[in-house]
């Protein structure tokens, strides 16, 4: 028994360690000692080697590569990965009614499984160890994939009990069905896969939710001590509809505050069309916001991220789904978050502000703020003794990053997915030297291609050719 314990111990040393801990410590030549799934010690390489070498059968020299906490993607539709490219350059209504709803309503659990495997592979390549699912149809399919990939996730069922123009399959769902089915999923999957999977409750968006669904979701998650993931204030039409039908003077956030829905377990995705009063509501109730820069630029608009951060709101980063963004890389989102929010200052102050959302803030959004957003910061989001060993090894000696003058700047402004070489989640390597370890990447890619074309055929989705294809 003792031997098993020792064998699962590992030291990584001679690394630039960016801890993202409360003191923002960065070790120029750091070491970390991991036992099973937990970080036991972190510090200067020489100290770690001196104190723990006798306990660790594996001692790995990282040759001055950068070690970071695993990135956390706080808004991703893993079930939409097979729908990458099905809705490029189309208007919002075609996007939703002509492509996404037919796609999602025709998915089987097996499709969801393959889609999540494919998405998970891309997430791991970009250094993600934990994600918050935005809501799909088959949580059991997602859970199977997450367990296999070795990732950590908060899974959510896409939940709607009302709304116009929904696919026939979905219109029969009652409020009771919505709550009951999520309670069952919670019972079945919460805290499974060595504690890597948690089950949250979902609200797709306010236009597809009755007040009863909102309030019963709030109460059920309080009772079960879990989170709620909801798309909030995405487009001006949403706010207008809320004003017209629910009698408030602004939009979704004002209404959610009025009915007492805002609380600190709410992960509010996008949250683009909010005014300063609503930013105040989000801040005072401890709501977390997932900023998805690429998807916002394509579909929604400029979210007031700087104002939210100034108001003390915990803002993290998400990719959204493949049909809204195409790239499921949190590395790309860090770069975009920084650029878009510097450029957005033109609308506020008449000029861009290169000091807005500096590198340190953006890196925090992708790590420790992500952990707070998924209500898991007691165990992940930074490299500290006692936390889970979720980490990323970045090779800065490749063309995208050379030369490195400041590693924090370089990680946000220069790093590409290509620089991410190895990823560990819960103490287990899930990618080593760019090789995904727990599934066969080539097999998944092959299977996903077939499943995607079958699904599109079943859903009757026809994508017109862009050029004169011969």
Q: Which is nearer to Zn ion, 48 or 322 (CB)?
A: 322
Q: Does 160 bind Zn ion (CB under 5 A)?
A: no
Q: What are phi and psi of 154, to 5 degrees?
A: -110, 110
Q: What tokens appear for 151 in the block?
A: 């990732």
Q: Which is nearer to Zn ion, 328 or 439 (CB)?
A: 328
Q: Which is nearer to Zn ion, 122 or 320 (CB)?
A: 320
Q: Which is nearer to Zn ion, 130 or 134 (CB)?
A: 134
Binding piece for Zn ion, criterion CB under 5 A, among 31-39, 110-118, 133-141, 178-186: 133-141
CB of 320 to Zn ion, least distance (A): 5
Binding mask 81-120 for Zn ion (x = CB under 5 A): ----------------------------------------
- Cα–Cα distance list, 172 to 136, 162, 175 (Å): 17, 9, 10
Q: What tokens appear for 5 in the block?
A: 């314990």
CB of 296 to Zn ion, least distance (A): 11
Kindly give, in sequence order, each residue whose CB lies less than 8 Å from that of residue 470, ignoring residues fewer than 6 positions away.
none
CA angle 391, 382, 115 (to 5 degrees): 50
Q: Which is nearer to Zn ion, 134 or 155 (CB)?
A: 134
Question: Helix, strand, coil shares of the chain as percentages rounded to 5?
Answer: 45, 20, 35
* Residue of this chain nearest to Zn ion (CB atom): 134
Q: Which is nearer to Zn ion, 133 or 278 (CB)?
A: 133
Q: Which is nearer to Zn ion, 295 or 395 (CB)?
A: 295
Q: Which is nearer to Zn ion, 39 or 100 (CB)?
A: 100
- How far apart are alpha carbons 412 and 68 in whole angstroms? 12
- How far apart are alpha carbons 412 and 156 in whole angstroms? 29
Q: Which is nearer to Zn ion, 35 or 268 (CB)?
A: 268
| Tokens 């994600």, located at residue | 131
Binding piece for Zn ion, criterion CB under 5 A, among 114-122, 127-135, 241-249, 282-290: 127-135
Strands ordered across the beta sheet of 266-270? 201-205, 228-232, 266-270, 288-291, 315-317
Element (H, E) at 230: strand 228-232
CB of 280 to Zn ion, least distance (A): 25
CB of 134 to Zn ion, least distance (A): 4
Q: Which is nearer to Zn ion, 32 or 282 (CB)?
A: 282
CB of 269 to Zn ion, least distance (A): 6
Number of residues that bind Zn ion (CB under 5 A): 2
CB of 211 to Zn ion, least distance (A): 22
Q: Does 134 bind Zn ion (CB under 5 A)?
A: yes
Instruction: Give the torsion sign (CA, 77, 78, 80, 85).
Output: positive
Q: How many residues does the structure list for the chain?
A: 470
CB of 80 to Zn ion, least distance (A): 8
Whether residue 127 contacts residue 71, with contact meaning beta carbons closer than 8 Å, is answered with yes
Residues 284-343 that bind Zn ion (CB under 5 A): 320
- How far apart are alpha carbons 392 and 379 in whole angstroms? 16
CB of 324 to Zn ion, least distance (A): 7
CB of 77 to Zn ion, least distance (A): 6
For 34-86, the three-class secondary structure string (H helix, E strand, C coil) is EECCEEEEEEEHHHHHHHHHHHCCEEEECCCCEEEECEEEEEECHHHHHHCCC
CB of 131 to Zn ion, least distance (A): 12
Contacts with Zn ion by CB under 5 A lie at 134, 320
């Amino acid at each position: 028994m003792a031997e098993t314990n020792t064998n699962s111990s590992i030291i990584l040393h001679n690394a630039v360690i960016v801890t993202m801990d409360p003191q923002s410590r960065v070790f120029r030549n750091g070491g970390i000692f991991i036992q099973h799934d937990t970080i036991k010690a972190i510090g200067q390489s020489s100290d770690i080697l001196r104190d723990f070498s006798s306990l660790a059968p594996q001692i790995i020299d990282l040759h001055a590569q950068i070690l970071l906490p695993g990135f956390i993607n706080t808004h991703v539709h893993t079930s939409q990965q097979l729908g990458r490219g099905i809705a490029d350059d189309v208007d919002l209504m075609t996007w939703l009614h002509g492509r996404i709803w037919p796609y999602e309503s025709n998915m089987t659990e097996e499709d969801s499984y393959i889609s999540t495997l494919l998405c998970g592979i891309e997430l791991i390549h970009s250094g993600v160890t934990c994600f918050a699912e935005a809501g799909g149809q088959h949580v059991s399919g997602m859970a199977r994939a997450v367990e296999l990939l070795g990732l950590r996730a908060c899974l959510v069922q896409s939940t709607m009990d009302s709304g116009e123009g929904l696919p026939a399959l979905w219109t029969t769902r009652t409020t009771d069905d919505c709550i009951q089915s999520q309670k069952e999923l919670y019972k079945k999957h919460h805290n499974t896969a060595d504690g890597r999977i948690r089950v949250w409750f979902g609200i797709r968006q306010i236009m597809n939710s009755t007040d009863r669904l909102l309030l019963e979701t709030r109460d059920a998650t309080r009772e079960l001590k879990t989170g709620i993931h909801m798309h909030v204030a995405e487009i001006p039409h949403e706010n207008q509809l809320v004003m017209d039908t629910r009698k408030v003077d602004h939009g979704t956030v004002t209404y959610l505050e009025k009915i007492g829905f805002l609380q600190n377990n709410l992960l509010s995705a996008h949250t683009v069309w909010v005014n300063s009063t609503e930013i105040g509501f989000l801040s005072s109730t401890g709501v977390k916001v997932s900023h998805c820069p690429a998807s916002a630029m394509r579909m929604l608009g400029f979210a007031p991220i700087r104002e939210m951060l100034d108001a003390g709101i915990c803002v993290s980063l998400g990719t959204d789904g493949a049909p809204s963004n195409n790239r499921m890389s949190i590395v790309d989102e860090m770069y975009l978050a920084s650029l878009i929010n510097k450029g957005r200052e033109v609308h506020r102050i008449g000029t861009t502000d290169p000091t807005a959302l500096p590198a340190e803030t953006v890196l925090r959004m992708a790590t420790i703020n992500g952990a707070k957003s998924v209500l898991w910061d007691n165990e992940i989001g930074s490299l500290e003794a006692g936390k889970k060993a979720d980490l990323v090894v970045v090779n800065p000696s490749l063309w995208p990053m050379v030369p490195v003058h400041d590693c924090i700047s370089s990680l946000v402004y220069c790093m590409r997915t290509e620089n991410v070489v190895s990823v560990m989640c819960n103490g287990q390597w899930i990618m080593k030297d760019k090789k995904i370890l727990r599934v066969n990447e080539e097999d998944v890619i092959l299977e996903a291609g077939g499943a995607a074309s079958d699904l599109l055929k079943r859903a009757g989705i026809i994508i017109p050719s862009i050029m004169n294809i011969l």
